[in-house]
Amino acid sequence: MITQKIKDFLNSQKLGYVATVSFDGKPNISPKGTIIGWTSKLLAFADIRSPDTLKNLQGNPYVEINVIDPLLRKGYLFQGTARIIKDGSLFDEILNNYRKNGIQSQINSIVLVDVSSVSDVISPLYDLGTSEQEIKSKWKQYFEKL
């Protein structure tokens, strides 16, 4: 399900969005810069500053995660159920991976997502026959102007 290609994509992207639902049914979306493909069925992200996300997941473990390349306008949508770990060998292993990859922030816990489905997300611009290079060029120019 989570192929090496997807893991490499996640490692190359620096921002994804995690969607949860609060106790009173309100949607919550939160940016995360630590989403990784841990195994072929498991994503992880670090709880660095995620109080609402964690509170929501404690009441409702269902989650959607969207990670998109901002230049290519392609990415993936992951659906699954989350669990929170704060210690143990898996926590230590994932924490060490984050440290090895330069994340220095305090990590309070790690959220593991048992992925039930993965879908491609592709911009409608591709439906118009626009090439990947044209889209990348357009958005690269846009971001360079900021």
Both tokens assigned to 99: 């440290």
Percent of all residues in the chain with a pLDDT value above 90, rounded to a whole number: 93
As a whole number of angstroms, the distance between CA 58 and CA 83 comes to 8
- Helix (H) / strand (E) element for 56: namely helix 51-59
pLDDT at 145 (0 to 100): 86
Across the range 88-104, mean pLDDT stands at: 94
| For residues 59-63, average pLDDT | 96
pLDDT of residue 83: 96
Give the pTM.
0.91
Q: What range defines the domain where residue 137 resides? A: 4-145
Q: Which residue has 């290519």 as its token pair?
A: 72
Quote the CA–CA distance of 77 and 83 in Å, as a whole number: 18
**What is the rounded end-to-end Cα distance, in angstroms, of the chain?**
37
* String of DSSP letters for 67-85: EEETTTTEEEEEEEEEEEE
Give how many domains the chain has, as a whole number: 1
Token representation of residue 93: 């292993």
Candidates 25, 24, 5, 6; CA nearest to 16 is: 6
The domain that holds 129 is classified in CATH as: 2.30.110.10
pLDDT at 14: 85
Determine the pLDDT at residue 90: 96
Alpha-carbon torsion, ordered 46, 49, 55, 57, to 10 deg = -30
* pLDDT tens digit sequence for 24-45: 999 999 999 999 999 999 999 9
Give me the sign of the Cα torsion angle 43, 115, 33, 10. positive
At residue 89, does pLDDT exceed 90?
A: yes
Query: pLDDT category, 73, cuts 50, 70, 90?
Result: very high
CA angle in degrees (0–180, nearest 5) for 107-37-119: 125
